[in-house]
Amino acid sequence: MVQLEVNYKGIWKEVVRYDCTHGFAHRDAYDLRKKHIKEELHLNFEDALTLADDDIDDNWETYKHRFLEGEFL
């Protein structure tokens, strides 16, 4: 599991999480109310992990900004 969290008013909130629970690789994108969108990745677990690391490294600032604005990714 790879996850980006943001400290919002003293509470750590999930922004985006990549994992393979449920038996498949997927990405969950959250909003401030903890609503989320699940996207199946159609990748093997190793490739999904590489994607997750690269995506969060490259886009964390954008994801943080959009999350704090109340948007999904």
User: Distances from the Cα of 32 to the Cαs of 3, 16, 23, 41, in angstroms?
Assistant: 15, 11, 27, 23
From residue 39, alpha-carbon distances to 6, 8, 11, 12, 49 in Å are 21, 24, 25, 22, 15
Task: Provide the token pair at 17.
Answer: 């999480």
pLDDT score, position 70: 85
Region 10-34 average pLDDT: 94
pLDDT band at residue 64 using 50, 70 and 90 as cut-offs: very high
CA 42 remoteness from chain centre: 16
For position 72, what pLDDT does the model report? 72
Stated pTM of the model: 0.89
**Distance separating alpha carbons of residues 48 and 33, to the nearest angstrom:** 26
The position carrying tokens 């490259």 is 58
